[in-house]
Structure 1
Amino acid sequence: MLTEAIILILAGSIVGILSGLLGIGGGLIIVPVLTFVLVHFHQLAFDQSILMAIGTSLASIVFTGGMSSFYHTKRNNMNWSTAGLYIPGVLLGSTIMAFVMPHLNITLIKHVFIAYTFLAAYEIFKAPIIKSVVQLPSVFLANIYGFTIASISTVIGIGGGTMFVPYFIYHKVNPRLAVGLASSLGIFIGLGASFGFIKNGLYASHFPQFSIGYIYLPGLILMTSSSLIFVRLATKWIHQISVLSLKKIFACLLFLIGLSMIFAG
């Protein structure tokens, strides 16, 4: 139990840094780590472990995204009227996908996501510093895009930051504001998906003790607690990094995520 707790706390600390600094929920760390914990320490079948890891990851994003959004709002890195354009589509996409996920070909979606990470990394890395007027789409198109990102994010177990941040930068949003927007939208991805994963797993059997549906409460509590500490620190660090450096960091992160997913098979 102590080893498991240490692993989960360390993972949560890294997630908090990623959430506050880059606007991502950290699911690309939580999912593999928690899958390993559930298989190794609780002898849970791999298929159930990965679903529970994804469900727990998305539930944790409600808290890390909320904390990150609070501090970004406090530091004027947030625009809730802009976020509001995307929230209905995000909620609908995440909720629906959590219910239909057991019937999806996750391998195909994974390959599409890998291709996207490389393309987004290239576009962000080569783009100049954004200084022009923000050019966002209509409410209808915003919700279509929000629905799409939320659907893909739910399958992978992430908060959507790796897709929302490049999207907002493409539409001429300052990278710091893009991070704040991505953090806020991650809250609603987590809320919709958590409802679906709890409902889906209520009647499943052989789950570890202290689980609610496909959400593993000890993992949620330990990782979230440690991540919230580092979210606050990271939202302070973001002002000490230039816009160009922040974009390069995010582009490199996307590239590494794409590589890791390829070698993960």
Structure 2
Amino acid sequence: MDLGLILELLLMGAFGGFAAGMLGIGGGMILVPFITMIFSARGFPPALTVKMAIATSLATIAFTSLSSMRAHHKHGAVRWDLVKLLVPGIVVGAWIGPALAKQMDARVLALVFAAFVGFSATQMVRARPATQQDKPLPGRLGLFGAGGVIGVVSGIVGAGGGFISVPFMTHRGVRIHNAVATSAALGFPIALFGTLSNIYFGWGTPDLPAYSAGFVYLPALAVIVAASMFMAPVGARVAHRTPVARMKRIFGVVLYSLAAYMLWRGLRG
């Protein structure tokens, strides 16, 4: 890789790691569009560009989630009781998601990603504190199903699941800081099993660039992880020291812009 590409990936990783640590959105919502732009500019096969961007982004979360989770755990904010009940469904869903994504046309996948980024941005902008009118958390079977949905969607779009899990938990009466911290902990099993699925189902695909493991592009993974693991705990510390409403609106605007890019890409073909 040339120096320019390394610097671009480092910047993306730093921003994505900070967002993951502060807001629990996994970083993938931000990384995938930028990685798609870079891969396109580097002449990657158009049919593989979005799939490889999603897979590479998801692989980075396997590393950044550990750093972010550790920082949130030090604040005692992770709801480990919820993690234990959501993870079984997440494992199943995260394996299925990439298998479904492989069958999608690249344009359709870009449109699906744009829709979920737009949804994530809307949830972030409209986020509100939990109230007594919020529904209680479901039982073991309900949380298994919720975990499955989180895992499938995250595996398809290459995100850590925070754009679904944080609104779900806050709507069910979990405090926002606990929801963000718990989402960070859930990011690891999502990313781990989603990445293994992307490697398995992408292995042997024609026209993959050199240094790819299935749909995961290893050089980009290494550079992004180096920056994002450094910034994820910084974002987590900021989340516990600063009111995040304004920052959520800023990130919401960023996500709307990235959703518009992916929408344009999907419609352009």
- 1:113 and 2:116 aligned: yes
CA separation of 1:166 and 1:249: change in aligned 2, threshold 3 A = farther
CA apart distance, 1:159: 0.9
Encode CA deviations 1:6-29: one digit per residue, 9 max, x unaligned. Answer: 000000000111011111211122
- Which residue matches 2:153? 152
Native 8 Å contact 1:175 1:247 kept in 2: no
Is residue 192 of structure 2 the alignment partner of residue 203 of structure 1?
A: no
Aligned to 1:67: 67
* C-alpha separation in 1, matches of 2:121 and 2:234: 29
Counterparts of 1:28 and 1:249 in 2: how far apart (Å)?
Answer: 16
Query: Aligned residue pairs: how many?
Result: 259
Q: Gaps (5+ residues) in structure 1?
A: none
2: CA distance, partners of 1:122 / 1:235: 19
Q: Deviations over 1:101-156 (max 9, x none)?
A: 222453664465366336524652xx346589993211111121111122112221
Give 2:190's aligned residue. Answer: 189
The match for 1:257 is 255
Query: Which runs of no fewer than 5 residues in structure 2 stay unpaired?
Result: 265-269
Between 249-258 and 204-213, report the one with greater CA deviation. 249-258
Asked whether the 8 Å contact 2:51–2:215 carries over to 1, the reply is yes
Retained in 1: the 8 A contact 2:130–2:174?
A: no
Query: How much does 1:236 deviate?
Result: 1.5
Once residues 222 and 210 of structure 2 are traced to their aligned partners in structure 1, the CA distance between those partners, rounded to angstroms, is 14
TM-score by length of 2: 0.87
Partner of 1:94: 94
- 2:209 is aligned with what amino acid? P
Structure 2 counterparts to residues 239-254 of structure 1, below 5 A: 239-242=240-243, 246-250=244-248, 253-254=251-252
After superposition, where does 1:157-196 map in structure 2 within 5 Å? 157-196=158-197
For the 8 Å contact 1:162–1:254, the answer to whether it is kept is no
Match of 2:214 in 1: 213
What is the CA RMSD across the aligned residues, in angstroms?
Answer: 2.4
Q: Which amino acid aligns with 2:91?
A: L
Q: Distance in 2 between matches of 1:113 and 1:156?
A: 8
Separation (CA, whole Å) in 2 of partners of 1:44 and 1:263: 18
Contact 1:118 1:255 in 2 (8 A): yes
